[in-house]
Amino acid sequence: MSRTVSAWPVLIPWVQLVVRDGARAFYEQGLGFHVRPRDGGLDLLPEDASEPILRLWVRPDARPRPPRTTGLFHVAVRLPDRADLARLFVHLTNVGVVLEGGADHAVTESLYVRDPDGNGLEFYVDRPEDRWPRRGGSVLMTVDALDWEDLLRSASIDTPWRMPAGTSIGHVHLQVADLRRAEAFYRDLLAFDVALRWPSALFFSAHGYHHYVAVNTWAGVGAPPPPPDAVGLDHFALVPPDGQPVSALLPRLEAAGVPVLWVETPAGRRPQVSDPDGHRIVLLEPPA
């Protein structure tokens, strides 16, 4: 039986981005999130949600992220169904948000935009699992043209667009300096599976999902990190993909020489680690 969106575990409860002034209108009117101010930033929530899936740290003095550096490629927001993706496309067109493009990835259909600070955002819907192409037991993903006309036939525009209930973070896609180094961290230490290998990208999965984390070297092998005061990814929260408690993961990280810091987060005091390219990850316990 093909799984529905709600059947896939949410392993990334939230992502925090660094932005400058001017982001609220884009995320609220442009994308349809509910915006909840908090000290130093904004929380972005779908309909009927009590907790945000995106958190914005507003830093008016933040610098643009230089090109050809490591960092965020995009945050991927997973919508509940295809009609939602179609309605979002209509809404973005009506309010004048510039689309970077759309793609059919065989396992998903996706729209791409950038916020005013250049942070990449993907909005996508999963195809039913029984329609995912496979080879040798591995999921295949493609970059094909999106069938815009067919997508629009799914649209229902009888109500104003708001980010729908059930929307979640599906994955994060990061730019890294070295694929082998990234694989050693995400596969060997965090216990993700490698779902797919491209010459310059890796896709990490768990629970049979196509991917929760992707990394690429499209900014260049050996790309330097951005300045610490640049816009971009601040951190993302992660539930261990193997379902084990965080206490079982920490000794493996520490034995590999990965520093573990304890930081205050919206979920309380939690351990934070960084991948080899400095992407910060707050570790959360699996749901009870």
Share of the chain above pLDDT 90, in %: 90
Q: Which amino acid is at 221?
A: V
Q: Give the pLDDT confidence of 250-287 residue by residue, as tens digits.
A: 999 999 999 999 999 999 999 999 999 999 999 999 98
Position 136 scores a pLDDT of: 83
* Sign of the alpha-carbon torsion through 182, 188, 191, 193: positive
Sign of the dihedral defined by the CA atoms of residues 186, 197, 72, 96, in that order: negative
Closest CA to 44 of 16, 74, 11: 16
Kindly tell me if the per-residue pLDDT of 172 is higher than 80.
yes
| Continuous segment of H or E residues that includes residue 272 | strand 268-274
Who has greater pLDDT, 21 or 237?
A: 237
Q: 152: exposed, middle or buried (C-beta count within 10 Å: 0-12, 13-18, 19+)?
A: middle
Per-residue pLDDT at 3 exceeds 70: no
Q: What is the CA radius of gyration of the chain?
A: 18
Question: How confident is the model at residue 158, as a pLDDT?
Answer: 72
Whole-angstrom CA distances from 213 to 51, 174, 285 are: 22, 8, 18
- Look up the pTM and report it: 0.96
Residue 168, helix vs strand vs coil: strand
Is the per-residue pLDDT at 1 higher than 50?
Answer: no
DSSP-derived secondary structure for 48-59: T-SS-SEEEEE-
Mean pLDDT, residues 186-205 taken together? 97
pLDDT for 86-103, tens place per residue? Answer: 999 999 999 999 999 999
DSSP run (H or E) holding 171: strand 168-175
Ramachandran bin of 113, using left for φ above 0, alpha for ψ from -120 to 50, beta for the remaining angles: beta
Model pLDDT for residues 10-58, shown as the tens digit of each residue: 999 999 999 998 799 999 999 999 999 999 999 999 999 999 999 999 9
Distance CA 266, CA 57 (A): 13
Structure confidence at residue 163 (pLDDT): 98
Does the domain at 5-283 match CATH 3.40.190.10? Answer given as: no
- Is residue 4 scored above 60 in pLDDT? no
Phi, psi of 133 (to 5 degrees): -70, 145
The CA distance from 184 to 187, in Å, is 6
Mean pLDDT value across the chain: 95
